[in-house]
Amino acid sequence: MPSLILASASPRRLSLLAQIGVVPARVVAPDVDESVLKGERPRDYVMRVALAKAAAVPCGADEVVLAADTSIAVGGRILGKPEDEADFVRMLGLLSGRRHHCLSAVVVAGADGVVRTRLSDTMVAFKPLSSAEIAGYVASGEGWGKAGGYAIQGRAEAFVRRIDGSYSGVVGLPLFETRALLATAGVDCG
């Protein structure tokens, strides 16, 4: 049975894997340029970055690499992680009272040399946010380092009117898709 390498420094992804009984043998943070290419569509972007993360992690013949990338898309615009406070406020303003897509690409590079991919697309609808709610959320610091500037598993869950798709995908790793890919690659999923 191959051992698993998680190509991510995200504690959320490690925790989500534990929910399905998977403990990686190693965790490696790949150094990948996550810049959006000119004219790149959100779906293409998350898959390209996830594939690059998987390719950046060397592995042996008896190892499987799991990589993922999550991004928020609003009307074709890709929202990454907030760069500064003004960017953070701008992102939350774009999400306020609107639906957006949370795209999570999962890549499993198998010991058999096969690269397997899945894309999870979850629709999330935020309630209209007041400027006080936005300022309070920014001040909480919770959304720093997160795609779209929010963490659904925290205070931002109170902003969500509706979700259609994978909750764990919005957190950062869609477990249904991940488990299926890992099982196909021969990784024991509890």
Please compute Rg for the chain using Cα positions: 17
Residue 156: predicted pLDDT: 96
Task: Report the C-alpha gap between 95 and 25 in whole angstroms.
Answer: 37
| Residue 189 belongs to a domain | no
Give the residue from 178, 188, 182, 142 showing the smallest Cα distance to 16: 178
Our answer to whether residue 69 is catalytic in this structure is yes
| Residue 151 belongs to a domain | yes
Residue 34: predicted pLDDT: 92
| Residue 46 belongs to a domain | yes
| Residue 173 belongs to a domain | yes
The conformation of residue 62, written as its DSSP 8-state character, comes to T
The residue segments making up the domain with residue 136 are: 3-184
| Residue 12 belongs to a domain | yes
Task: Report the C-alpha gap between 189 and 168 in whole angstroms.
Answer: 16
Give the residue from 49, 91, 42 showing the smallest Cα distance to 67: 49
Task: Report the C-alpha gap between 134 and 149 in whole angstroms.
Answer: 11
For the chain, 190 residues long, give each residue's pLDDT as a single digit of tens: 889 999 998 899 999 999 999 999 999 999 999 999 999 999 999 999 999 999 999 888 899 999 999 999 998 899 989 999 999 999 999 999 999 999 999 999 987 789 999 999 999 999 999 999 999 999 999 999 899 999 999 999 999 999 999 999 999 999 999 999 999 999 988 7
**Residues 46 and 70 sit within 8 Å (Cβ to Cβ):** yes
Which residues touch 101 (CB under 8 Å, ≥6 apart)?
42, 72, 73, 74, 121, 122, 123, 124
| Residue 7 belongs to a domain | yes
- 132 backbone dihedrals φ, ψ, rounded to 5°: -70, -40
Domain count, the chain: 1
Residue 1: predicted pLDDT: 81
Residue of 44, 69, 121, 188 marked catalytic: 69
| Residue 190 belongs to a domain | no
Q: Is 91 helix (H, G, I), strand (E, B) or coil?
A: helix
Which residues touch 113 (CB under 8 Å, ≥6 apart)?
none
What is the domain-level CATH number for residue 97? 3.90.950.10
| Residue 30 belongs to a domain | yes
